[in-house]
Amino acid sequence: MLVGEAGGGADPAQGGTASAQDGAAAQDGAAAQDGAAPAQDGAAPAQGGAAAPSFLCDAMLGGLSRWLRGAGYDAMFEHGIDDGDLVRLAQQTGRVLLSSDAGVFERRCLRTAAVRGLYVPRGLRPTEQAGFVLRELGLPVRDPRCMACGGALTAAPKDSVRDAVPAVVADRHDEFWRCDRCGKVLWKGSHWDGIVAGLAAAAGVASTTEAAAPPAGGRKPPP
Ligand SMILES: [Zn+2]
């Protein structure tokens, strides 16, 4: 959707994998920083902090999983998984189960909160679903993760990715990131500002992504 990608397979949805770590762009998209109070711990967790929940999306919510990754959360999506396996996987991994199937929430481990879950209303677009989840859980928009797999992104020196991206891309861009999990090389695309703004607006929550801080030590820019 918003940025270019290289080194991976075809991106299944939204026309291109995304990801961008650009602080300035993120700042543009930030909703009021002191907007909705984060539900966890009373304070916005640090970027990449342990407080950030990870998610498991049901078979109908593949688009949502990608947008949650774009919002900086590790979201897992298993195509075709049945409800029983889905719930077991959520329990095993400690992920918050997201489903639009009300029947799933009748299961005992969800009723007893042994598995955390959130019902996502039907009829919403993926961006609206993501906004709903962030709002319901009081979560901020963070620096994006790899939208293909949910892996964390690490700033990659241009010289290290030159062979992995088209020459025209290397000519036009100076900032690149590599997914720690799937190895995709990403760069910021022209739609990123709008995407981040749309996501933050849909969520109606604060964003922890701020301009600033240049990448340090080969890691993502801090919040
Ligand atoms: Zn990845």
Q: Which neighbouring-strand residues pair with 117?
A: 97
The 3-state DSSP class for residue 67 equals helix
pLDDT of residue 190: 62
Compute the distance from residue 196 Cα to the ligand 1 centre, in Å. Answer: 19
- In angstroms, the first-to-last Cα distance of the chain is 23
pLDDT in tens, 97-118: 999 999 999 999 999 999 999 9
Sign of the alpha-carbon torsion through 83, 84, 85, 88:
positive
DSSP codes, 97-111: EEES-GGGGGSHHHH
Do residues 110 and 90 lie in contact, with contact meaning Cβ atoms separated by under 8 Å? no
Residue 12 confidence (pLDDT) above 60: no
**Rounded to an integer, what distance in angstroms lies between the CA atom of residue 60 and that of residue 98?**
10
Q: Which of 148, 146, 147 is nearest to 180 (CA)?
A: 146
Compute the distance from residue 169 Cα to the ligand 1 centre, in Å. Answer: 19
Do residues 44 and 140 lie in contact, with contact meaning Cβ atoms separated by under 8 Å? yes
| Residue 187's pLDDT band (cuts 50, 70, 90) | confident
**Rounded to an integer, what distance in angstroms lies between the CA atom of residue 164 and that of residue 158?**
10
pLDDT of residue 202: 66
**Rounded to an integer, what distance in angstroms lies between the CA atom of residue 167 and that of residue 148?**
23
Compute the distance from residue 180 Cα to the ligand 1 centre, in Å. Answer: 7
Residue 89 confidence (pLDDT) above 90: yes
Residue 7 confidence (pLDDT) above 80: no
5/137: higher pLDDT: 137
Do residues 114 and 97 lie in contact, with contact meaning Cβ atoms separated by under 8 Å? no
pLDDT of residue 46: 42
Give the CB-side neighbour count of residue 91, counting CA atoms within 13 A: 15
pLDDT in tens, 141-166: 888 899 889 999 999 999 999 988 89
pLDDT mean across residues, the chain: 73
Compute the distance from residue 136 Cα to the ligand 1 centre, in Å. Answer: 26
Rg (Cα) of the chain, in Å, rounded? 17
Compute the distance from residue 106 Cα to the ligand 1 centre, in Å. Answer: 33
pLDDT in tens, 31-71: 323 333 333 333 333 444 447 899 999 989 999 999 999 89
Residue 215 confidence (pLDDT) above 60: no
Phi, psi angle pair for 28, to nearest 5°: -55, -35
Compute the distance from residue 35 Cα to the ligand 1 centre, in Å. Answer: 30
- The average pLDDT across 7-23 equals 36
- Rounded to whole angstroms, the maximal C-alpha distance in the chain is 56
| Residue 189's pLDDT band (cuts 50, 70, 90) | confident
Compute the distance from residue 174 Cα to the ligand 1 centre, in Å. Answer: 20
Which of 91-95, 188-192, 201-205, 210-214: highest mean pLDDT? 91-95
User: Would the pTM of this model clear 0.95, i.e. be above it?
Assistant: no
